[in-house]
Copies of this chain bind each other. A is one copy, B any other.
Amino acid sequence: MKRATIEDVAALAGVSRQTVSRAINDKGEISPATKEKVMAAVQQLGYQPNRQAQSMVTQRTQTVGLVIPDISNLFFPEVARGVQDTARKHNYNVLLCNTDDDPDEEIRMLHSLAAQGVDGIIIIGNAADQVTTQTFADSYGPIVMVNRFFDHPNVNIIIVDNEQGAFLAVEHLIQQGHVKIGMLANKNFSRSQVRRVRGYEKALTENGIPYDEALIVGASPTLEGGYNALNQLLGEHPEITAVFTYNDLMGIGAIRAAHDLNKRVPQDLAVVGFDNIGLSSIFIPSLSSIHVDKYEIGQRAMNRILNMLDTPNKSFAPIELPVTLIPRESST
């Protein structure tokens, strides 16, 4: 069974293609009577316009690319849902790309998305070849970056208040009486990584605790990364009684590592994470964290893309999302 074309509808309704088009996209210039007639024919044939053909002439594919490190990382599914749900509301499709934090892979993904002809791109995460990004921003449509910085008329940014979040987390640990506070950081360079370290440092120094880089150990921002990093940190600095981790996955990995070392959490080691993923409230002990509205990030990113598409030359203010501390069992 072949798919109906606009021509078929036109024939059945006894009008021209253009009239059918007018009826469907109701851009006026059509009488109610003929419109009804056309719509009946559309219904009867189950006609749906061919997206590819539409794209050819409108130069819009109704598709955006979403580039993330890894959808298996618990942070990103929620963001992706935010993007997808919003996209779908506006008849947009989302092409998901995983970079695994590999800059080369990211570049490949960007090229692939360009070839596919997406209307806009949302990029989250670390990797970033500045040159490629520049090229894209110059010759391409709207780009929204999350937790990354890039100054370009085609590029908008969304950031969460990483420094403040880290500050709140560490200050909380200090208020609980901790002094020897380590940090499990992200070994990959990223803007959020830098800001979270800065917040960590700020909380310490503002409370008269010397900042010691040796207490920061980097690892991959995963369960395993956190597990290994805590072992390393406690091996080198057994005096530590609390850790702030780059994200919740590392925090949970750290709790597990402490458990395997026969250390009780929080009595022997307090842990505070970042991102407040769904798992953290369930884990035993539940993990204190900095709440970030991940779904909202996705929503706002997608909406921003749509706005930029609507008004190409308007410039938009960066979006900064607030964070809050959620104290739980792992630190109280």
Residues of A within 8 A of B (CB): 1, 48-53, 55-56, 61, 70-72, 74, 77-78, 80-81, 84-85, 88, 93-98, 111-112, 114-117, 138-139, 223, 227, 252-253, 255-256, 259, 278-279, 282-284
Contact = CB atoms under 8 A, between A and B. Distances in A.
A137 to B, nearest CB: 12
A98 B115 contact: no
A259 B282 CA distance: 10
Q: How many copies does the complex hold?
A: 2
B94 A96 contact: yes
Nearest to A48: B115
Interface of A is mostly: helix
Nearest to A138: B1
Contacts of A223: 278-279, 282
Given A117-B52, A138-B1, A95 B98 contact: no
Contacts of A112: 88
Given A1-B139, A55-B52, A117-B52, A284 B283 contact: yes
A61 B95 CA distance: 13
A252 B71 contact: no
Nearest to A115: B48
A88 to B, nearest CB: 8
B61 A71 contact: no
A284 B282 contact: no
Contact of A72 (B77, B95, B97): B77
Given A96-B94, A96-B96, A51 B256 contact: no
A139 B61 CA distance: 24
14 contacts: A48-B114, A48-B115, A50-B117, A51-B116, A52-B52, A52-B55, A70-B81, A71-B81, A94-B95, A223-B282, A252-B282, A255-B284, A256-B284, A284-B284
Given A72-B78, A94-B95, A256-B284, 20 more contacts: A1-B138, A1-B139, A51-B117, A52-B53, A52-B55, A52-B56, A70-B77, A71-B80, A71-B81, A72-B77, A72-B81, A72-B278, A81-B98, A93-B95, A93-B116, A95-B95, A223-B279, A253-B282, A255-B284, A283-B284
A72 B50 CA distance: 31
A116 B52 CA distance: 8
Instruction: Give the interface centre of A77, A81, A85, A282 by most chain B CB atoms within 10 Å.
Output: A282
A80 B138 CA distance: 32
A141 to B, nearest CB: 12
Contacts of A253: 282
